[in-house]
Each structure stands twice: as C-alpha cells, then as structure tokens.
C-alpha cells in the first residue's frame, strides 16, 4: 500500500475540511473531535469539489449542490447510505498525516431513474406545436387587461384554428419556481441539465417551461410588457433559469434546442421597443432558436404616455395589432414547418469564436 505525505498535522488541523492531493487523486481531508478522515474529493452528483465544502456534523457538504457524505466512511447521509464516495486510510507519523493513494472502499452511486427532462430531445410526429409564454405579472385576486398577453392569445388562437397547430400557453405568474441560485458562478459544471434546482425540488415548476421549450414545441411565442425600458422581471427570472440550457453548449457542445423558432410580442406604455426586442433576439439565439423574417410585433405610445388606460383601450380596439399578431404567428409557424420538413439531423453545431469549456476531475 502506497502512502502519501500530506504535510504537518498542525496545518491540517487549522480547518475542518481541507482539499488535498495524493498523487493525482483529489481528496477531502477532515479534522474533527481529534480524528482525521479522508474521502474522495469528487462528489458523486456532478463532480463537485468536496474538499472545498464544509462540515455539517459528521458529513461533508458539497459546495455545489449540498450533497452530503460522511467524512470517515464516505457514505451518503441517512436515507442515501448506498450512495458512497471512496474512503482512504489515514495515519499520523512523526507529526505528519499520511493517506493511501488508492481508496480502500469503492465509489458507489445509488441507482435512480434519470429526471424526465434528461431524455434526448426528439421531435414526435404530429402537427406543428406552438407554446406561448406570457411574462406579464399581476395580482390574481385583481386581474387586469394585459396588452402583451391579449395579443399572445390572438396569435395562439390563430395558430390553433387557421394554422391547425397544437397550442398551449404558459403564464409565468401562475408558476411557482425559484430564482436562479448562481451555480454557474461556482463553476460552469455546477450548472447542470436539468437544472439542479429542478432535480432537487419536485415543487419547482420551471420544469413546465423546460419541457415546453426543449421537448414539446416547434415554435415559442414570447410576450412581454416593457418595464422601465426592459423586458418584465418575470422574463428575466425565467431567462436566468434557462442558463442551464445554454450552458450545455458551453461545457459539452450539446445543443438542446434544434430546428425550433422563436418570435416575440412586445408592448408597453413606455418606449424602448427595439432594445427590448434586441435583447430577446440575442438571448433566444444563444439558446439555439431560429427566427422568422420580421420576428416581432410591438406597440408603444412613447415615454410621455402615462395615461395607461388609453394605451389599453388602443390595443383592445386595434385591428392592426391583432392582424400583426396573427401574421407573426403565421411567419413563425411557416419557418418551423420548413425546418421540420428539411428533417436534417445534426449532432453538433460549430460555433465560431466560442469553444466548449471542459474540465477533468480525477475520481479514483
């Protein structure tokens, strides 16, 4: 058995958890109640660095997603004992801590069914499918007329009846989903697909958006009001949670959105239509969506139009805007059908100037 010298015990006793290496093997070394422990420094869940975590009682908590493993045995927390990281033997000699390079127990991942969202996106046969996403917010107890949502409903009705599409609408205000918790800021690989929040929280309803955009729809029609010159706060809450879709391109060259079309409806009492539409186009292009010619319709009465009731009345009466919403749906559906009819299967899309970022975690 080969032993590696990790250094003076006085240094390793300064912190409860220390990241160390035995050759090329990453370790999480702990000191508690007068005893050292050493387990693999690579978390079973997504390869997170256990040695950079913290102790919760006798368990090391991974700093990426909070998974826990016993500091001495490597076993998962109660209820997850079958999920284990390798354990390494330790000894103290001449004031130094020594650890075995080879583990004395194997890594064991508790078998579990993959999350339903993790399946490979494959378009099912059938009619063109259009999802409308309304990002406007309101008090459900005192509902109001939403100009952006009203035009979205016109576009969806036209898609369902005249264009013979399957349609569904997602109103973000009706979903209970957590805001992005910044896993990407810890490490690109900490931002997983499906999103770690959705994996760990069965009550997180962002799964409905993921299912619609990645697996179900051919067309996404996104409607937003203008709020202080920008898209709605609910749009940004959704967009941040969609980082896990785009991040698959960054870390794996895996494009989840293929042969899908997005188009937009932007309305508001304040101006800044082009900036809002431009942001929407940039964001959805980074997810992998195509766009029809003239990919948005919009309405604004300008910065000085503070009489919002008149703005609502204008939209309610405007046949021009209703026609524009229907024609937008028509262009988007036509573009999607051309993509589907083309039927080209692509495993990888070259991205000039952008490379996937790969890291290698050695888990022995």
- Residue 204 and residue 78 share a domain: no
- Residue 129 and residue 81 share a domain: no
The answer to whether residues 103 and 87 touch, using CB atoms and an 8 Å cutoff, is yes
pLDDT in tens, 338-364: 999 987 655 566 666 665 554 444 443
**What's the CATH number where 216 sits?**
3.40.50.360
- Neighbour count for residue 226 (Cβ, 10 Å): 23
Question: Of all residues in the chain, what percent carry a pLDDT higher than 70?
Answer: 94
- What's residue 141's pLDDT? 92
Query: What's the mean pLDDT in 129-143?
Result: 95
| 98 sits in which H/E element | strand 96-100
- Neighbour count for residue 131 (Cβ, 10 Å): 24
pLDDT in tens, 204-214: 999 999 999 99
- What's residue 143's pLDDT? 92
- At 80, the pLDDT band (50, 70, 90 cuts) reads confident
As a whole number of Å, the end-to-end CA separation of the chain is 15
- Residue 190 and residue 61 share a domain: no
Query: What's the mean pLDDT in 17-42?
Result: 96
Query: What's the mean pLDDT in 258-287?
Result: 94
Query: Which range of residues forms the domain containing residue 199?
Result: 116-342
241 token code pair: 């949670």
pLDDT in tens, 295-310: 999 999 877 777 777 8
Helix ranges, the chain (H): 9-12, 147-161, 183-186, 196-200, 207-210, 233-241, 243-252, 273-287, 308-317, 319-342
- What's residue 271's pLDDT? 82
**What's the CATH number where 93 sits?**
2.102.10.10
- What's residue 79's pLDDT? 87
In a domain, residue 360? The reply is no
**What's the Cα-to-Cα distance from 28 to each of 35, 80, 97, 328, rounded to whole Å?**
14, 19, 13, 56
* Better pLDDT: 310 or 76: 76
In a domain, residue 71? The reply is yes
In a domain, residue 132? The reply is yes
pLDDT at position 290 over 90: yes
In a domain, residue 361? The reply is no
Q: Where are the beta strands (DSSP E) in the chain?
A: 3-8, 17-22, 25-32, 35-40, 54-56, 59-61, 68-70, 87-88, 90-93, 96-100, 129-134, 166-171, 219-225, 261-268, 296-300
In a domain, residue 268? The reply is yes
Question: How many domains does the chain divide into?
Answer: 2
């Amino acid at each position: 058995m080969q032993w590696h010298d990790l250094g003076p015990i006085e240094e390793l006793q300064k912190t409860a958890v220390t990241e160390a290496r035995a050759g090329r093997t990453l370790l999480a070394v702990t000191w508690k109640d007068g005893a050292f422990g050493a387990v693999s420094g690579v978390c079973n869940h997504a390869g997170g660095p256990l040695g950079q975590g913290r102790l919760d009682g006798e368990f090391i908590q991974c700093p990426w997603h909070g998974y826990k493993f016993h500091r001495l045995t490597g076993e998962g927390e109660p209820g997850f004992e079958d999920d284990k990281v390798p354990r390494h033997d330790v000894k103290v000699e001449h004031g130094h801590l020594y650890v075995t390079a080879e583990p004395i127990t194997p890594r064991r991942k508790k078998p579990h069914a993959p999350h339903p969202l993790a399946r490979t996106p494959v378009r099912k046969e059938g009619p063109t499918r259009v999802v409308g996403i309304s990002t406007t917010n309101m008090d459900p107890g005192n509902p109001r007329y939403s100009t952006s949502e009203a035009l979205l409903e016109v576009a969806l009705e036209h898609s369902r009846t005249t264009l013979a599409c399957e349609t569904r609408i997602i109103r973000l205000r009706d979903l209970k989903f957590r805001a992005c918790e910044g896993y990407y800021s810890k490490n690109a690989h900490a931002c997983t697909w499906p999103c770690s929040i959705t994996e760990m929280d069965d009550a997180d309803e962002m799964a409905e958006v993921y299912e619609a955009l990645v697996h179900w729809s051919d067309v996404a029609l996104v409607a937003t009001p203008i709020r202080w010159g920008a898209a709605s706060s609910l749009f940004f809450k959704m967009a941040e949670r969609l980082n896990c879709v785009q991040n698959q391109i960054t870390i794996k060259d895996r494009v989840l959105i293929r042969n899908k079309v997005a188009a937009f409806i932007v309305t508001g009492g304040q101006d800044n239509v082009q900036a809002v539409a431009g942001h929407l186009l940039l964001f959805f292009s980074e997810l992998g969506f195509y766009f029809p010619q003239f990919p948005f319709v919009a309405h604004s009465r300008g910065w000085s139009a503070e009489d919002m009731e008149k703005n609502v009345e204008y939209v309610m009466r405007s046949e021009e805007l209703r026609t524009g919403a229907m024609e937008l749906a028509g262009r988007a559906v036509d573009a999607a059908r051309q993509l589907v009819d083309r039927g080209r299967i692509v495993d990888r899309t070259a991205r000039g100037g952008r490379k996937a970022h790969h890291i290698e975690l050695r888990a022995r």
